[in-house]
Every structure is written in structure tokens, then in C-alpha cells.
């Protein structure tokens, strides 16, 4: 391979994320070219659920991979469908950035300081459900667009605040614009949030070997558990499901701790459970926790929101 062509969406965040991956490859002596790909999710301003939700930011990149226009696709892992694509392989999951959600609000306010009736923007059913569950009396306003667009609605006075993934602000060098980093005890992130996915063709062993050097074992175990839970719940990336797995030192070595929540859009009812296991059994931990949540009625909550 003379030059590795890396495909990415054209947004500032996507190209910045892909730039980090490209830099790591250049450090290893790989010549890299970044190729911009337009996706359905980028071309439409409609709510993601109306576009089909899962895969709207991914399909065009995957098609470019299969067609040979690019050699690697870099995705936000939370956008990646949980159903495997046999044409491709998930060759690397680099170290995860902060997985938490954050608030960007007027006057430096936190969620608890927002007045009754304050307008808070989000396009995520997961965030909407968990925000409503906090009982703060704020109005949730649907909003889509890139980081500039969403924060712009706050600076213009159209909204009092917006909820965003902190990882995006950190990668853009704008972390100081967050007025509150939200504790996962209040709002669990989307499965895979803060992590990147590097895909290549299933038969491209040379590219897979290069990408494997970027893979982070703990991040892969954590997101495997989260995505296994999501797949078992048969919920897409736009479903009101929050999940966060973390690797911690236990009595017998590394231990994986997975927390998850499924909520009605109104915030009530909700099901919040956790499970533990070994990092090497991450997929099984996710499946087991999802089965427990389904036994509590999670399928009803997912179907109501879809």
C-alpha cells in the first residue's frame, strides 16, 4: 500500500477525530490521505429516527470501503450499527475520550441552576428521557446540527442550554465551553460514546495489521459490553438506552462493571441495572444485563420510543 485512504464525514468534529487517527498512523510511518464522504445523516436536517436512526452516518462510508474508494473508515462508535457487516472488520478501537455528557448553558449555569421552564436542546431520545427523569421542570427542545449550530442556539438566546457529548468538545479544543460535566449517576451516555471505530475490508489483512496497533484493550472490552447490551435489547443508536462499562481493579484482577438504563421518553418509568464480569467476557456481561432488563419490561420501553 502506497497511501492509506481514510474516509470520514466532512464535519469539523469528524475530520478532527479522523485527524487524530491519521496522526497515529503517520507516527508509524504510514502515508495517509483523508477522503471526505457525505452521509445521509449529514444531508438531512430531519430527526434521526425519521431517517431510520441506525446507520445514517455510517452507510455511505461503508459503501466507499466496499467499493475500494477508501481503505479505512473512521466512525464515532456510537453511530455504528450493532449488527456486523460481513464485508468489513472493526480493526481498531483507539483509547476512549471522556464518555460523559455535558451541558453548555447561558450565563455559566448548571442543570440544577436552570430556572423552571428553561429550554434545553437535544436531538437524543436517551438524553431527553434521562433529563426528564431528573424532574427539573425544564422544556426539552428537539435540535440537530453540528457543534457550532447547537451551541449557537444558546449564544443567540434561542435556547437556555444544549446537551452534548463532552468528547466532541474535548477533541475540538472547546472543552471550556461546557458549563457542567454531567455525572453518569444522573445521565448515562450512549453505548460507545467517546470512542472511535476504525473499519477496513474483511479481506484487507495488511490494513488490519496496521490498524491493530491503535487498538486499546480496555476500551474495546468496555464498548463490546455496551454494544452487546444494545444488540440484545434490539435497540438502535437513537433508542433511549444509556450504558457505560468501566474496567476497574478487583480482588482477582481486572473487572468490568456495566451500568445501563432504559427509559420512557417522559423519564418514567425507567429500568436501571448493573452487572459485573471479566473484561474477556464483555459480550456475555452485556447480554446477561440486557436479559435482566428485558425481564423487567425493557422491550416495552424501547418499542414505545421507537
Higher confidence at residue 286 or residue 299? 286
Residue 301 lies in a domain: yes
- The pLDDT tens digits of the residues spanning 74-85 come to 999 999 999 989
DSSP 46-71: S-GGGGTSTTTTTHHHHHHHHHTS-S
Residue 53 lies in a domain: yes
- The pLDDT tens digits of the residues spanning 5-51 come to 999 999 999 999 999 999 999 999 999 999 999 866 554 444 444 43
Number of domains in the chain: 3
Q: List the domain range (segments joined by +) for residue 115.
A: 101-181
pLDDT of res. 304: 59
CATH number at residue 207: 3.40.190.10
Residue 190 lies in a domain: no
153/88 same-domain check: no
Q: How many CB atoms lie within 10 A of CB 98?
A: 18
90/106 same-domain check: no
pLDDT of res. 3: 93
pLDDT (mean) for 47-70: 75
25/48 same-domain check: yes
pLDDT of res. 235: 73
Q: How far is CA 105 from the centre of its chain?
A: 22
CA proximity to 71, closest of 195, 197, 206, 196:
206
HEC string of 124-142 equals CHHHHHHHHHCCCCCEEEC
Q: Exactly one of 79, 98, 101, 204 is catalytic; which is it?
A: 79
Angle at 254 between CA 249 and CA 258, to 5 degrees: 90
**C-alpha–C-alpha distance, residues 289 and 220, integer Å:** 18
pLDDT of res. 48: 44
Residue 186 lies in a domain: no
Q: Mean pLDDT check: name the lowest of 1-5, 110-114, 190-194.
A: 1-5
Confidence at 279, pLDDT banded by 50, 70, 90 = very high
37/149 same-domain check: no
Residue 284 lies in a domain: yes
CA distances from 230 to 82, 190, 261, 286 (A): 7, 10, 11, 8
pLDDT of 127 higher than 70:
yes
pTM: 0.91
111/167 same-domain check: yes
Residue 188 lies in a domain: no
16/157 same-domain check: no
pLDDT of res. 50: 43
pLDDT of res. 44: 44
203/84 same-domain check: yes
Residue 70 lies in a domain: yes
Higher confidence at residue 267 or residue 154? 154
Question: Rounded mean pLDDT of the chain?
Answer: 92
Confidence at 251, pLDDT banded by 50, 70, 90 = confident
**79 flagged as catalytic:** yes
145/209 same-domain check: no
72/106 same-domain check: no
CATH number at residue 255: 3.30.160.40
pLDDT (mean) for 263-283: 94
CA proximity to 257, closest of 269, 249, 265, 267:
249
pLDDT of res. 225: 98
Residue 266 grid cell: 417522559
pLDDT of 58 higher than 70:
yes
70/118 same-domain check: no
69/210 same-domain check: yes
pLDDT of 89 higher than 50:
yes
Residue 50 lies in a domain: yes
Q: Which residues of 2-40 are buried (b: 16+ CB within 10 A; e: fewer)?
A: eebbbbbbebebbeebbbebbebbeeeebebebbebebb
**C-alpha–C-alpha distance, residues 286 and 40, integer Å:** 30
77/128 same-domain check: no
Amino acid at each position: 500500500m502506497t497511501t492509506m485512504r481514510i474516509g470520514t464525514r466532512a464535519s469539523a468534529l469528524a475530520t478532527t477525530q479522523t485527524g487524530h487517527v491519521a496522526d497515529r498512523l503517520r507516527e508509524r510511518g504510514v502515508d495517509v490521505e483523508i477522503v471526505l464522504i457525505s452521509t445521509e445523516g449529514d444531508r438531512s436536517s430531519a430527526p434521526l429516527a425519521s431517517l431510520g436512526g441506525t446507520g445514517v452516518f455510517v452507510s455511505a462510508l461503508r459503501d466507499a470501503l466496499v467499493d475500494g474508494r477508501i481503505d479505512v473508515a473512521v466512525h464515532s462508535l456510537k453511530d455504528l450499527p450493532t449488527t456486523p457487516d460481513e464485508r468489513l472488520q472493526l480493526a481498531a478501537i483507539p483509547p476512549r475520550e471522556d464518555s460523559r455528557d455535558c451541558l453548555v448553558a447561558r450565563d455559566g449555569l448548571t442543570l440544577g441552576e436552570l430556572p423552571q421552564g428553561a429550554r434545553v436542546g437535544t436531538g437524543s431520545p436517551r438524553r431527553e428521557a434521562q433529563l426528564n427523569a431528573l424532574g427539573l421542570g425544564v422544556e426539552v427542545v428537539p435540535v440537530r446540527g453540528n457543534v457550532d449550530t447547537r451551541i449557537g442556539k444558546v449564544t443567540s438566546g434561542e435556547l437556555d442550554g444544549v446537551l452534548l457529548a463532552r468528547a466532541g468538545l474535548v477533541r475540538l479544543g472547546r472543552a471550556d465551553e461546557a458549563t457542567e460535566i454531567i455525572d453518569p449517576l444522573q445521565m448515562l451516555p450512549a453505548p460507545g460514546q467517546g470512542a472511535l471505530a476504525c473499519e477496513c475490508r474483511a479481506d484487507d489483512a495488511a490494513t488490519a495489521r496496521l490498524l491493530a496497533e491503535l487498538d486499546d484493550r480496555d476500551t474495546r472490552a468496555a464498548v463490546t459490553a455496551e454494544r452487546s447490551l444494545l444488540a440484545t435489547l434490539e435497540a438502535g443508536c437513537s433508542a433511549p438506552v444509556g450504558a457505560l462499562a468501566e474496567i476497574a481493579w478487583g480482588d482477582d484482577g481486572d473487572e468490568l462493571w456495566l451500568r445501563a438504563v432504559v427509559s420512557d421518553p417522559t423519564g418514567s418509568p425507567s429500568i436501571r441495572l448493573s452487572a459485573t464480569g471479566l473484561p474477556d467476557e464483555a459480550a456475555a456481561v452485556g447480554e446477561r444485563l440486557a436479559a435482566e432488563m428485558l425481564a423487567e419490561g425493557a422491550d416495552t420501553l424501547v418499542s414505545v420510543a421507537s
